[in-house]
A and B are shown apart, each in its own frame.
Chain A
Amino acid sequence: MLLDIANLSKRFSSGGRDVAALNDVSLTLDPGETLGLVGASGSGKSTLARILLRLTSADAGSIRFEGKDWLALSGAELRRRRAKMQMVFQDVLGAFNPRATVASVLGDPLRIHDIVPKVERPREIATLLERVGLPASYASRSIREVSGGQRQRIAIARAIATRPSLIVLDEAVSALDVSIRGKILELLVELQQERGIACLFVSHDLAVLRAVSHRIAVMEAGRLVEIASARQVIENPQSSAARALIAAVPRLVTGMPERPHHDV
């Protein structure tokens, strides 16, 4: 087991009231597996991702990652171990320092974790770019000159640069055009098969999760209400939250919708 989250809880106080953002959530993840985490906004899925990435703290519970007590780490040891758990964000614009170049974005993690010797770095950057389907010449470009879909590819390249065993994706394709989404999802699946990376894919879109997840976990109001294989959740949902999410996925309606016509 690569990741073991047990009884994770977090409360926020908002306007005098206590809101449970996460309420006793437990789940596990095996190496090379993709777990889709789905829920409406406010369900707590993003909070879980942020706690997992140590961007915010939990009030209770434990996380074991690669056999170590993940929440107990701090300082230089935490920074070192972060190489094994990386993230792809939703907001393709805000996820990069506006002054960065593609080379600096990919070079930073390589440098911090000493993945390859300094002289090898340009070549490693070129390899990473090519692996995500971008020409190596992009390295010298400013991050602002690159399109949305291309930026997400660079974000994926940054995430795999440190040879992680787990990547957390938070709504990673929600902001992309539909025609590009498919390609990014294919890339992720390829990388997973190639490198055995596990993925925790957070999204409110079940259709996206269906495409790439082995298992799906459904969250509602801070609780984990259902967790099963992707096929099980889609074809035989047990929770009302799952049913609502399934119903909310837009389907192509090719017949004329039934409704009273206006006089034509």
Chain B
Amino acid sequence: MSALCEIRELEVAYRGNSVPALTNIDLDIHAGERLAIIGESGSGKSTLARTIARLLPAGARVRGEMRWSIGQVPLPGRDLGFVFQDPSASLNPVLTIGEQVAEGARRHLGLTWRTAYERALDMLERVRIPDPAKVLKAFPHQLSGGQRQRVAIAAALAAGPGILIADEVTSALDMIVQAEIVSLLDELVREAGMTLIFITHDIALASGFADRVAIFRDGGLVEAGPTGAILTSPKDVYTRALLASHRDLSTPPLIREATS
């Protein structure tokens, strides 16, 4: 796999903060891969996502390089789709779903409104929204959290970008919807041959579908590599601690159970 983007010595600091949010990041992103960026709060994972998508706030200082193999830097919307954590905040409450999904297609593909709406309908079907024709005319508050996130994904993919960045897209959703959204993303990205950058704090969630993982901590990259390798033989003590703190149904409970 060729490197779609080579990040070298990246350093990002927000305005007014002397401590950088990211320091000395060297990371490759391969074309067509599913890369999971894993870290806890304050690790800088969201900052990395926003730096790649050029969504940093005014006054943020960026140093280092991001070399893209596709020639120019990807344009958000056309080459790069971004899905945010909170679908209630990332969707405009006064615009219909149809307008919001069609907007990207219209702007970047130069479609007429009518064609863009048809494309929006198609996108809503692909993200498996029930009754998509009705949802086109609905408003965000009429949908559930999981449905809103599906709409946000449809909007991000409307212009057919080659890269999708998902920033903690399941953290605000319950377990069942989380599993559905993850499997939806996996399928969409594979169908279209897109590159997926999946930001999460849940290493187990990422392990289910990511090709490679990159572990972040306190603004630095701890280690990165193929998922299987990192999870079975983690090199860094922090990665080991992260794996150890994972709880699932087979982890022995903390309480003393009555033998029944």
Contacts and interface: CB of A to CB of B under 8 A. Distances in A.
A250 B209 CA distance: 11
B23 to A, nearest CB: 20
A27 B66 CA distance: 57
B90 interface: no
B41 A148 contact: yes
B57 to A, nearest CB: 20
A211 B253 contact: yes
B152 to A, nearest CB: 17
B188 to A, nearest CB: 14
Most chain-B CB neighbours within 10 Å: which of A42, A249, A250? A250
Nearest to A205: B175
Contacts of A192: 255
Contact of B145 (A41, A179, A229, A247): A41
Contact of B228 (A42, A207, A255, A264): A255
A262 B175 contact: no
A264 B211 CA distance: 12
A208 B247 contact: yes
B219 to A, nearest CB: 15
B72 interface: no
Task: Determine the interface band of chain A, counting residues with CB < 8 A from chain B.
Answer: 35 or more
Contacts of B133: none
Given A249-B248, A252-B243, A254-B232, A178 B177 contact: no
A40 B41 CA distance: 25
Contacts of B202: 178, 250
B204 A251 contact: yes
Which of A41, A205, A208, A246 has the most chain B CB atoms closer than 10 A to its own CB? A41
A40 B176 contact: yes
A17 to B, nearest CB: 13
- From B208, B246, B254, name the one whose CB has the most chain A CB atoms within 10 angstroms: B254
B253 A210 contact: yes
Contact of A212 (B32, B144, B242, B255): B255
B253 A256 contact: no
Nearest to B205: A250
Nearest to A229: B260
Interface string B172-208: 0111111100000000001001000000011111011
Contacts of A247: 179
A245 B176 contact: yes
Interface string A230-249: 11101000000000111111
B227 A256 contact: yes
Nearest to A246: B249
Among A232, A247, A251, the most chain B Cβ lie within 10 Å of the Cβ of A251
Contacts of B260: 229, 231-232
Given A179-B40, A257-B209, A252 B204 contact: yes
B247 A207 contact: yes
A162 B147 CA distance: 41
Contacts of A250: 178-179, 202, 204-205, 207-208, 248
Given A252-B243, A253-B207, A178 B253 contact: no
Contacts of B241: 179
B210 to A, nearest CB: 8
Interface string A200-240: 00001111101111100000000000000111101000000
B24 to A, nearest CB: 23
A185 interface: yes
A185 B253 CA distance: 10
B64 to A, nearest CB: 27
B249 A189 contact: no
Contact of A249 (B32, B190, B249, B258): B249
A254 B231 CA distance: 6
A242 to B, nearest CB: 11
A186 B254 contact: yes
Interface in A172-186: 177-179, 181-182, 185-186
Given A252-B207, A256-B228, A257-B209, A179 B255 contact: no
A155 B109 CA distance: 51
A210 B251 contact: yes
A257 B253 contact: no
B242 A179 contact: yes
A248 B173 CA distance: 12
Contacts of B131: none
Interface of A: 34, 40-42, 148, 177-179, 181-182, 185-186, 189, 192, 204-208, 210-214, 229-232, 234, 244-257, 259, 262, 264
Interface of B: 1, 32-33, 40-41, 144-146, 173-179, 190, 193, 201-205, 207-209, 226-228, 231-232, 241-243, 245-251, 253-255, 257-258, 260
The 4 closest A-B pairs by CB, nearest first: A204-B174, A250-B204, A248-B175, A177-B40
